[in-house]
Amino acid sequence: MNLKKSVIILAAGCMMFACTTKENPFFNEFQTPFGTPPFEEIKMEHYEPAFERGMEEQNEIIASIVNNPEAPTFENTIVAFDQSSPILTRVSMVFYGLAGAETNDDIKALSMKLAPIMSEQSDNIMLNAALFDRINAVYQQKDELNLTTEQNQLLEKTYKSFVRSGANLTAEQQERLREINKELSTLGLTFSDNLLNTDNEYKLFIENEADLSGLPDWYIQGAAEDAEAAGQPGKWMITLRNASRLPFLQYADNRDLRQQLFTAYINRGNNGDKNDNKDIISKVVKLRLEKAQMMGYDNFANFVLDNTMAKTSDNVMEFLNNLWSYSLPKAKEEAKELQAMMDKEGKGEKLEGWDWWYYTEKLRKEKYSLNEEEIKPYFQIENVRDGAFMVANKLYGITFTPIEGISTYHPDVDVFEVTDADGSHIGIFYTDFHPRAGKRFGAWMSSFRKQQGETRPVIYNVCNFTKPVGDTPSLLTLDEVETLFHELGHGLHGLLSNCEYYSLSGTSVPRDFVELPSQINEHWSMEPEVLKMYAKHYQTGEAIPDSLIAKILNQSTFNQGFMTTELLAAALLDMNMHNVTDAENFDVINFEANAMNQLGLISQIPPRYRATYFNHIIGGYAAGYYSYLWANVLDNDAFEAFKENGIFDQETARKFRQNVLERGGSNDPMVLYRNFRGAEPNIEPMLKNRGMK
């Protein structure tokens, strides 16, 4: 069904059945406390008509801007465009939120159907010559308009978004661009669906109890419960999800099973089956290059990076290669230590990728007398979450209060009202912490409603943490603890936003700046003063002892060669793929192998994400995965300000809130950073904290 026909049918249906806007929750602002989505009212059949009505409404608003007889102004053109899609924005935020956190076959099918339609809708607007003429007319007057900094940013962003979307291309080029955008939209969805299918379909069932040797009791119990739920009682089920895979690689004595699981994970999307992603990623690289060259860039990386802090591929590559010179030698040293430990066992085995996590855990225990199983009882998920909330309270004066009566999309979801120090309402915050079949891997933050002017945000965090097992609550690893703080940092960026315009609010910032609020928030998680606040033994309530805190801090740079190198390898793979200037015969597997060989990456460390399951670069991080490391320079330097003045120093926290968390994309990110720190960032704290210096 094409868009025109679908809108006609919608209208006819409403006349036939006397439709009212009450029948579709998306047609008006949500009539709920705090404007939260009424999930109990939203049905699958509401989405498509809401998208159709939303596109119709947006087209009417765009037409009114274009046909306005008054001369183009900032208000009647730029602001009007910023506010041109109320219904479409409302339904998109809910639908695509659930597509990641609680998907099903119906949502997947509608996503695929909508992808080319939404691509066409976007192109129809961004390639609307009359609309661009009005925007360009305002842009040409920008120096005489006396705009505020935020208004100027909105004007710049709007104008550049049209140019970068092809407004200045010829009619023939624009037609080809439309074809490319449509194809990319469906390829991206297929890639992600293939990955989710692979993750859900892989199940390693263990029948012999002896094969569980080395695994903790809580893990064994959870694996038994998972197997029973999968219709295999009396067995134990292992999956590719981090909460299942990583502890198995960390503790399982059975080397053959570790190899089997590890190999399955690193070959996701690369098995020649119906979920294979090789052809998809090759097509994506080829289409992106064609698009970039059409826009006047030599490669896709430079096209993307022109709109970031880094600006050029050369700048990013110089940055990454500099870090590589520190990380790879450290990773090689770590490999030698692990091999020496294996040699002591006298089995004649050589270190492989499936051994790294296992022997790293043994080495951690030997060097630091620290076993993660000794730590986990102090990190019950509710306590960690409340600890992260307490940090936000001590820094910014805000309070998270559980709230009843707010509809959610799944029973696992908890809801909190966030209020400021004076008791005023800031926003609503949802948490969704545990894995399930309908949820994609990873952890992320997004919004059901962004802050804009007086409109307060509705923000959510989605994660995939260790589930409760039997009577044992969810107990987190150190990595999971940091992830929870990380995602709340993104949440604070959305919640504390104080911008006038939708397109600039919250996390609407360059990708290599967006990770600053999240990554700096991780720093508080392992501060001794903070650990004393929230790390309580789940059985005794005893605060974590100083002896354990000392062990945690002593091993803070342990295994950082591995961690940094696998992250860097993925970032360099991303950049190399998007630096190509000829993708005619692009073979992604050969390309990846050659790229890693040229780097000298050791065989025991694959990139954190190989190309066929690199969801980041299919989504919003194409030529942008370096951002985590770029922002790591910022966050380590920024946290130095807190260490210098006190980790809860109110003046430092106020400056960070007012210059970073509240400002969204309302100013150049380096200006925002300098306004907070008083200088540009220094790389030395990052190198020190990663044990590279």
Domain parsing of the chain, residue ranges: 3-163, 202-266, 278-370+561-618, 376-554+627-689
Distance (Å, rounded) from C-alpha 385 to C-alpha 471?
A: 20
pLDDT at 15: 32
Phi, psi values for residue 146, rounded to 5°? 55, 45
User: CATH classification of 3-163, choosing from 1.10.1370.40, 3.20.20.140, 1.20.1050.90, 2.40.50.100?
Assistant: 1.10.1370.40
Phi, psi values for residue 445, rounded to 5°? -120, 145
pLDDT at 693: 83
The structure tokens listed for 320 are 């990454």
Q: Which residues are catalytic?
A: 487
Q: What is the 3-state secondary structure (H, E, C) of 608-658?
A: CCCHHHCHHHHCCCCCCCCHHHHHHHHHHHHHHHHHHHCCCCHHHHHHHHH
Distance (Å, rounded) from C-alpha 454 to C-alpha 460?
A: 19
* Whether the predicted pLDDT of 5 surpasses 50: no
Q: Where residue 17 falls among pLDDT bands split at 50, 70, 90?
A: very low
Per CATH, 278-370+561-618 and 376-554+627-689 having the same topology is answered yes
* Cα within 13 Å of Cα(14), Cβ side: 14
* Cα within 13 Å of Cα(492), Cβ side: 33
The structure tokens listed for 227 are 């197997």
pLDDT tens-digit series, residues 338-386: 999 999 999 999 999 999 999 999 999 999 999 888 999 999 999 999 9
Taking Cα atoms as reference points, which of 384, 343, 663 lies closest to residue 521? 384
Q: In what order do the strands lie in the sheet with 425-432?
A: 399-402, 414-419, 425-432, 458-462, 444-449
* Whether the predicted pLDDT of 184 surpasses 50: yes
Query: DSSP for 489-537?
Result: HHHHHHHS---SSGGGSTT-S-HHHHHHHHHHHHHHHT-HHHHHHH-B-
Contact criterion met (CB below 8 Å) for 304 and 623: yes
Distance (Å, rounded) from C-alpha 261 to C-alpha 256?
A: 9
* Whether the predicted pLDDT of 503 surpasses 60: yes
Answer yes or no: CATH 1.10.287.610 is held by domain 376-554+627-689: no
Distance (Å, rounded) from C-alpha 464 to C-alpha 432?
A: 8
pLDDT tens-digit series, residues 117-141: 999 999 999 999 999 999 999 999 9
pLDDT tens-digit series, residues 244-288: 999 999 999 999 999 999 999 999 999 999 999 999 999 999 999
Distance (Å, rounded) from C-alpha 331 to C-alpha 559?
A: 8
Tell me the sheet residues that pair with 380. 475
Contact criterion met (CB below 8 Å) for 566 and 608: yes
Q: Where residue 22 falls among pLDDT bands split at 50, 70, 90?
A: low
pLDDT tens-digit series, residues 51-67: 999 999 999 999 999 99
644 CB-near residues (< 8 Å, 6+ apart): none
pLDDT tens-digit series, residues 520-559: 999 999 999 999 999 999 999 999 999 999 999 999 999 9
Single-letter residue type at 280: I
Single-letter residue type at 572: L
User: CATH classification of 278-370+561-618, choosing from 3.30.420.40, 3.90.640.10, 1.10.1370.10, 1.10.760.10?
Assistant: 1.10.1370.10
3-state secondary structure of 690: coil
Place of tokens 């050589």: 350
37: exposed, middle or buried (Cβ count in 10 Å: 0-12, 13-18, 19+) = buried
Mean pLDDT of 564-569: 98
Single-letter residue type at 101: A
Q: Other C-beta atoms within 10 Å of 147: how many?
A: 18
Contact criterion met (CB below 8 Å) for 687 and 319: no
Mean pLDDT of 171-195: 96
Percent of the chain with pLDDT over 90: 95
Distance (Å, rounded) from C-alpha 261 to C-alpha 240?
A: 7
The structure tokens listed for 4 are 């025109």
